[in-house]
Amino acid sequence: MALSAKVQEYLAEAYRIAYYQDGDRRVSNADLAEVMHVTDAAISRMIKRLAREGYVQHHKHRGIVLTEKGEREALAHIRRHRLVERFLVDVMGFGWHEVHDSADGLGATISDVVVNRMDEMAGFPRRCPHGEPIPTAEGDMPRIHDYPLTEVEANSDDVWVVSRVNTHDSDMLQYIASLGLKPGATLRLIERAPFNGPLQLEVDGEVRVIGHELGGVLRVCSREEFALV
């Protein structure tokens, strides 16, 4: 029986949380409830179901760990979602701020054959429009090492590449694009004000000032690291 879209989403979000935890594969109930925007009771019910069906191992008071079966389903869902986003932007001409919700709906209904053809038509992209890595058809997920812009040292000599943009907020994505800070853009962090103050950047030879919140959304890495994925 095919998994429901909701179950696929739970597995995918659990994988995403674990992916960026530096080797810790455990996912807490609270973290999963936060990203899914549901109550603790709803999370508990879903985790019991996922454990019963063999998608997760549940450790009382320690959260869950995806099983091999659970990871396989999570990666398939993530691949479909990110490739659909890429296809909508690169082939159909949608804006990167328009595609997240549409990809959720389409990704749950199309076959692997269609997904693989989308992959081909989009030129076999390695990242989604927001910079997230796209798993291969074999289920391999590239590893990304990047940092929030708010955590790097201000030094006008260091060149950083925007690796990922950690938001799906449409207005924020449009603003980021207007600043020339989409994934792949290069920048220098000139100054970082204390106490969560604004950041002064150099982008394409022009100085930009952004708030601390926006800086936390932008993930950056070196040119060498960006080229690996």
* CATH fold of the domain at 5-70: Arc Repressor Mutant, subunit A (1.10.10)
Query: What is the arithmetic mean of pLDDT over 10-39?
Result: 91
DSSP per-residue letters across 89-124: HHTT---TTS-HHHHHHHHTTS-HHHHHHHHHHTT-
Tell me if 5-70 shares its fold with 147-227: no
pLDDT digits (tens, 9 = 90+) for 196-215: 999 999 999 999 999 999 99
- What separation in angstroms does the CA of 54 have from each of 113, 153, 183? 26, 44, 36
Instruction: Please report the pLDDT score of residue 1 as a whole number.
Output: 54
Please identify, in words, the CATH class of the domain defined by 147-227: mainly beta
Answer whether 201's CB lies under 8 Å from 152's CB. no
Helix (H, G, I), strand (E, B) or coil at 133: strand
Global pTM value: 0.91
pLDDT digits (tens, 9 = 90+) for 61-73: 789 999 999 999 9
Instruction: Please report the pLDDT score of residue 21 as a whole number.
Output: 81
pLDDT digits (tens, 9 = 90+) for 117-158: 999 999 999 999 999 999 999 999 999 999 999 999 998 789
Question: Alpha-carbon distance 194 to 192, whole Å?
Answer: 6
Instruction: Please report the pLDDT score of residue 102 as a whole number.
Output: 92
pLDDT digits (tens, 9 = 90+) for 152-191: 999 878 999 999 999 999 999 999 999 999 999 999 999 9
Task: List the chain domain ranges.
Answer: 5-70, 147-227
Owner of token pair 């997920």: 141
User: Shortest CA distance to 80 belongs to which of 117, 52, 108?
Assistant: 108
Rg of the chain over CA atoms, in angstroms?
Answer: 19
Instruction: Please report the pLDDT score of residue 155 as a whole number.
Output: 85
Which region among 9-13, 19-23, 37-41 has the lowest average model confidence (pLDDT)? 19-23
